[in-house]
Amino acid sequence: MFSSRASIQVVLAIAVAVARANDLSWIPGQTCASAWLIEPASPRDTDTIQFSGPVRFYLSRCVAERSLGGKPTLFVDHANRTVELRFVAPPSTDCTGFWSPVCGLKGSFGPLGTGSWRLFSNTAGAVFSFEFAVGAQTTVLPVCYVDADAPGARNGSSWKDAFNSLQDALANAGEDSEIRVARGTYHPDVGTDIERGDQSVMFQLKRGVVLKGGYAGWGGTNPNDRNVLAYQTILSGDLFHDDKALSRLSDMLGDFSRIDNSYHVVSISGTDAAAALDGFTITGGIDTDAELPDELGGGGGIYNDGGNATIRNCRIIGNGAVYRGGGFYSRGNCTVALIDCTVANNWSKWAGGGIYYHSGSDLILSRCVITSNGAEFQGGGIWSHSGGQLLISNSILSGNRATDSTWSRGGGLYGSIANAHLNHCTLVGNQAAVGSALACELFSDSDASEMHVSNCILWGDGELIYAEENALVETTNSDIRRGRTGQDNIDADPCFVQMGSWNDAGTTYDPCDDTWTEGDYHLRWSSPCVDAGSLDAAWDPNGTDLGGRPRVSGVTVDMGAYELRNDPPVANAGPDAIGFTLAANIKGTVTLDASKSYDPEGLVLRYRWYCNNVLISEQTRFTTYLPAGVHTVKLVVSDPTGLTASDEATATVTLVVNTKTFVSPQKMQRNSSQEVLTLTVLPKGKLPKDFDTAEPLRLFPGGIPAVKQNAFVWLSGDTLVLGTFKRADLMAAVPANGRTELRVVGRLKDGQHFSAADHVTIE
């Protein structure tokens, strides 16, 4: 995106599911342990957790899976801290022998985050629930703390006594240590003996130091609670806190509010493989220091000369460089890995808007999103100018642009001395004059330059791939718009959930003011890319896609960054239903609603409702007649592939004594804040002491509870109950205007219910 006023919303799904099915196995025999167990009994957040437990005895694994609904599969929900055992269709078919009894399951999952977890299954025949706690691993590294708001001694020994400056923590940290940084914004010119406003100062990572952001820090309920999205930790080169929003990304370098920004925000130069940068947003670095396009010019966000660090869970956003690598620049004999990172809205005047690496360095990108970056000439997203390897897997390159109308090359990725390998990547909406997705050229006649693309999707406008004579771009098992020669390539609409799009702001002659709106590149069930990849071409069939899902979920792997997996639907039978009848031999009406059921993949569901094992409806929401009493109603939902889920609700039809009520006002303005009042007569002979004040009056439709209620004797001798209800609740329950019946229901202390109805007009 080339306008900071049009927001980027790139969400990296963090492992909401999913140990692989082959992590589980059946326990042979006829008698298993009586309870579900985990090992170790008190796991840490770095442990792989073994588990085992019983199911009922089955003649064989195939019989078990057919009875339970499919293959045993684990689903790990990190947000809700649950591990669910489900049985996912279809069951195994490779059965040998009739008598091969099984009686339980065992397997492994994890590591898991610290906190209370639940291992459970709701499948009939294997229902259990087991709670356990995961503790923090005692680190072997000494830890110091950074929190700009800490009030203590500022020596880094605890969250209370944390360094207020990250620079002071880095200066005092020895090798092989960990620095934990609380949420907030930190600037490189803040620290002991550092001159404020010094543009040349940067955060220098040290050998063996693990720098981790995303902590709640001092003042948090749990200072050690870590969530890089909830507790954003920002490293900013905006030294004077005055950066203005840009209408054109290309204006970044000449913008008056940025001329005093840091040249580089972070440096990982000279680090070793043990060093790591984890959980930060890195922004506001503008490298305008280099006067010539020499090898030292670049890396407004992160600069590297010979460092070997790992960068994980970071967002490199809104940085610039005069010549190369607006977001990230790397050179020298080194290896850098970016894992689960976003590189977005960075700009370079010359090349490599998002990333530039050269001079023998290796670069690994895994589960990354490279989007909305720009450069004038080559590599809007990435420029590869190195004899080392570039390995990109399970990643997205989208909406990147090289803007020169004549000389631009490689909107997504450009290589001049390239040894690039892309596997399971999605390249969408990238733009350049030549090679909008990929361009591969030779820096000199003596150099080799090649790119190998497998299991990928390349989609967009223009000539997607350009290879100069004697340069090589090899594509296999990929979906490429307008086609390309190569083993098992296809040319078919990939059927994304939502395609991204460009807006040219009405100025087709000026690409720099164009904005990119990100799409959703998960595949639909109709996609020709589903099960169209190659296991042989996949680097790690047992790995995970960009969303953390297992790579093999069907016949083989899918093309692109996301694997489509058919998870079972989720059934929700809605709230328990209440109905009323005035006589024991007359049925009452109850309304049941399954509208909160859903399918994770958005497939259309079939609904079936059962009462006493009899099918009573196939509607999502319906009203039925039931006799007085308590009834268990079962909902079964199924997707078109046959996967099912069930839920139950209670439908209670209560015998009530009919009385009289008056509802005020009789004409209700929908937008008024006035409360709704009801005046209801208790059954004959009942006194205020007989009214059950522990049970609120309820107003139907909606079953709205009274916020106030009071019983008293009226002049006539009748006992009345005055109820007060929130009008907004009633308006939500009755969405249509016009004349409607309202019913009040209450309870006496002897368990008897009373009910009365009145009509009002809603305007």
Q: What percent of the chain has pLDDT over 90?
A: 57
Pair (130, 65) in one structural domain: yes
> Do 387 and 26 meet the contact criterion of CB atoms below 8 Å apart?
no
Pair (704, 644) in one structural domain: no
> How high is the pLDDT of residue 146?
98
The residue among 431, 438, 428 whose CA lies nearest residue 402 is: 431
For residue 18, pLDDT over 80 is answered with no
Q: How far is CA 275 from CA 16, 447, 483, in A?
A: 28, 32, 43
Q: Exposed, middle or buried by CB within 10 Å (0-12, 13-18, 19+), for 659?
A: buried
Q: Within a domain: residue 67?
A: yes
Pair (664, 650) in one structural domain: no
Residue-wise pLDDT for 659-675, tens only, equals 999 999 999 998 888 99
Alpha carbon distance 609, 593 (integer Å) = 10
Pair (636, 585) in one structural domain: yes
- What would the two tokens of residue 544 be? 């995970």
The residue among 659, 657, 702, 708 whose CA lies nearest residue 680 is: 659
Average pLDDT of every residue of the chain:
88
- What would the two tokens of residue 686 be? 């009942």
What stretches of 497-590 show up as alpha helix (H) in DSSP? Answer: none
| CATH for 692 | 2.60.40
- What would the two tokens of residue 685 be? 């002979």
Q: Within a domain: residue 668?
A: yes
Instruction: Identify the weakest region by mean pLDDT among 167-171, 216-220, 576-580, 646-650.
Output: 576-580
Q: How far is CA 511 from CA 376, 420, 504, in A?
A: 10, 28, 7
Question: What mean pLDDT is predicted for residues 48-65?
Answer: 80
Pair (648, 693) in one structural domain: no
Residue-wise pLDDT for 350-392, tens only, equals 899 999 998 778 899 999 999 999 999 999 999 998 778 899 9
Instruction: Provide the domain count of the chain.
Output: 3
Amino acid at 376: E
Which has the higher per-residue pLDDT, 760 or 512?
760
Pair (28, 117) in one structural domain: yes
For residue 501, pLDDT over 90 is answered with yes
Pair (30, 125) in one structural domain: yes
In 3-state terms, what secondary structure has residue 267?
A: strand
Which has the higher per-residue pLDDT, 392 or 78?
392
Pair (596, 680) in one structural domain: no
Domain boundary among 111, 134, 157: 134
Pair (663, 741) in one structural domain: yes
Count of Cβ atoms closer than 10 Å to residue 645 Cβ = 22
Could you tell me the pTM of the whole model? 0.66
For residue 324, pLDDT over 70 is answered with yes
Strand pairing partners for 37? 52
Pair (695, 758) in one structural domain: yes
Alpha carbon distance 631, 603 (integer Å) = 30
> How high is the pLDDT of residue 19?
28
Count of Cβ atoms closer than 10 Å to residue 472 Cβ = 13
SS3 for 664-679, per residue? ECCEECCCCCCCEEEE
Domain boundary among 655, 681, 715: 655
Pair (115, 51) in one structural domain: yes
Strand pairing partners for 51? 38, 107
> Do 517 and 6 meet the contact criterion of CB atoms below 8 Å apart?
yes
The band of 103, judged by pLDDT with boundaries at 50, 70 and 90, is confident
> How high is the pLDDT of residue 184?
97
> How high is the pLDDT of residue 553?
73
Residue-wise pLDDT for 690-719, tens only, equals 999 988 998 988 888 999 999 999 988 999
> How high is the pLDDT of residue 126?
83
Q: Within a domain: residue 735?
A: yes
Q: Within a domain: residue 692?
A: yes
Pair (738, 640) in one structural domain: no
DSSP 270: T
Alpha carbon distance 526, 495 (integer Å) = 7
Q: Within a domain: residue 410?
A: no
Residue-wise pLDDT for 198-231, tens only, equals 999 999 999 999 999 999 999 888 899 998 988 9
In 3-state terms, what secondary structure has residue 63?
A: helix
Q: Within a domain: residue 673?
A: yes
| CATH for 603 | 2.60.40.10
Q: Within a domain: residue 603?
A: yes
The band of 69, judged by pLDDT with boundaries at 50, 70 and 90, is confident
Range of the domain at 666: 659-762
Q: Within a domain: residue 217?
A: no
The residue among 631, 654, 685 whose CA lies nearest residue 583 is: 654
Alpha carbon distance 558, 216 (integer Å) = 38
Domain boundary among 100, 134, 168: 134
